[in-house]
Amino acid sequence: MSDRPNILLIIIDQFRADLLDGGLARTADLKNLAALADQSCMFRRHYSVTTPCGPSRVSLFTGQYAMNHRAIRNGTPLRHDTPNLAREMREVGYDPLLFGYTDVAQDPRVLPADDPRLTGYEELLPGFTEVVRQRQETDDTAWRDLLRSKGYDVPDGMDLYIPDGDSIDSPARYKAEDSDTAFITDRFLDRMSGQAPGWFATLNYIRPHPPLVAPAPYNRMYDPDDVPLPARPEDNALHPFVAAVQAARPASGLVKGFPDLKATTETVNRLRSIYLGLAAEVDHHIGRVVEWLKTSGRWEDTILVVTADHGEMLGDYGLWGKGTFHDAAFHVPLLIRVPGRRPGRIEAMTESIDVAPTILDLAGRQAPESMNGISLRTQIETLLGGKSVTFSEHDFADPVNPTTLQQILGLSAPLSNFAVLRTDTHRLVHFAGPLPQIAFDMTGAGESRDISAMPDQGAICLDLSRQMLCHRMAHPESTFARTMVIDGGVKKGPA
């Protein structure tokens, strides 16, 4: 590998870890990602530190917990001077190329009030060179123009994602070779085929993010009866937050054109099968990218990182989307292939905030003080080590137009959030407002049974609460944490 390697970061949207390693993997059978996993360092217990899309990507690129970058919702601005992966890579000579999107709301303090970038959250993280602009909600003009040039009738807005038929698993109105997944891959391969060595690129796949509609044959690639059933709770007594999420975010929200869709067993299985089909489509196109790296002679000069911004509940525990506390919403894959390093699987926990420091380390750049994550280079080289706890957050408020969850639960914006602490054996969910804690014993019934109210579990829950408090206190915003202004000027302590 050359002194300055090529680095490719692939981010898949709303992609559960168990599609590749776990309950859904045998059915999904994602051959290209599975083959890549066998050639990579696979972090089996890797978790996003926040949801949904915008906050999770900000954390991934800035290496910061949501409690520090505070871009906590889709639409909450990121401070313009926040250090991030793209800017740091420029410092070591890379031109960070973006294919897709970053979902970063801009800082209104540094832009004119009438700037069009202040009309939506699907904007560009400062530091990236945007090669292909692709936005699902606000601007996917390039892809739609391509569809029109091929004779498709392209409706406005999200109606493009209404299935072409009377069933939720009817095919998309575009062919597989013309899908948004195919489009972004084609554009990536077209551009990068002529790229000089020593490049850094980020390739973003919007799928399998909803709306759940897939082109043929992916729409019916999997028999719904063959897809594993969703997980169910042992106790029928719903926590107030779970009941609110079930009411506010029904299964019908994952598809377009079926507003009265009911979550029957048949419907749930069909939705899960479409999701697997979209994942298979992404797998196919990642296979194209890997094949291009190999046939073009770039394979042994390219560090390849594959991960996801967050997961998807997919009907587990009666929940859909990513706005809840279960592992399925946060547990995502992380594959890192460094040429010359032996592959293997790491069982210790890691977090999405570790991705940016790791890429910087592999590129020869020390991560800035502001990053809460750690470099995983030692784990890649030794296949040992990791974290004893992971920490995630989710904010379910809207300070301008209160969310349905806020209204159901009667919570103000500052109280509408929760944090999750994970250890090897337990999970703790703590809400900012008056909602009761939730705790799971992962060595027993797991997430199927809340143990927080059990009298004999009080000491465990207290210890988990202490660990969560300690973790928050040990990871504040740290831009100047090692910096002192003293006699002789500005000094920094050791990292």
Active-site residue numbers?
53
- Phi first, then psi, for residue 33 (nearest 5°) are -70, -35
- Phi first, then psi, for residue 6 (nearest 5°) are -70, 145
Long-range contacts of 158-162 (CB under 8 A, 24+ apart): 158/211, 158/256, 159/256, 159/257, 161/211, 161/213, 161/256, 162/213, 162/256, 162/257
Give DSSP secondary structure letters for 312-381.
Answer: --TTGGG--SS-SSSHHHHB--EEEE-TTSPPEEEEEEEEGGGHHHHHHHHTT-PPPTT------HHHHH
Give SS3 for 475. coil
Beta-carbon contacts of residue 152 (< 8 Å; ≥ 6 apart): 173, 174, 178
Beta 438-441 vs 483-486: how paired, if at all?
A: unpaired
Is residue 213 within 8 Å of residue 172, measured between CB atoms? Answer: yes
In degrees to the nearest 10, what's the CA dihedral of 234, 240, 244, 245? -50
Could you tell me the sign of the dihedral formed by the alpha carbons of 326, 329, 330, 332, in that order? Answer: positive
Give SS3 for 125. coil
* Number of other residues whose CB lies within 10 A of the CB of residue 128: 24
Helix, strand, coil share of the chain (percent; to 5): 35, 15, 45
Give SS3 for 249. coil
